[in-house]
Amino acid sequence: MKKNVYRVRTQYIFEGVFDVIAESKEYARQKVLQNCGLVMGGSIHSTLPDDEINWAFSAHPDVRTARITVQEEQTE
């Protein structure tokens, strides 16, 4: 049986909240963009001190697939 290599565009969407202590909405946004993230195969993290941030995220992402294309056709 012939098998092909397919590229499947995929999104893993983790949704949650960061509660941040800041002087304004924009500063709170900047803190999250610059100091918070997700490491593939790791966990959600922040470099902010614990007394400035708290978060809640689901450990189970919403998984969406999109376009699927043949990358390499196999011949026998």
Q: Where are the domains of the chain?
A: 5-68
Beta carbons within 8 Å of 18's beta carbon, 6+ residues apart: 32, 36, 46, 53, 54, 55
The answer to whether the pTM exceeds 0.75 is no
Q: Report CA torsion sign: 41, 47, 48, 51.
A: positive
pLDDT digits (tens, 9 = 90+) for 2-51: 888 999 999 988 889 999 999 999 999 999 999 998 887 777 788 999 89
Q: What is the structure's pLDDT at 10?
A: 93
CB 39 within 8 A of CB 45: yes
Q: What is the structure's pLDDT at 23?
A: 96
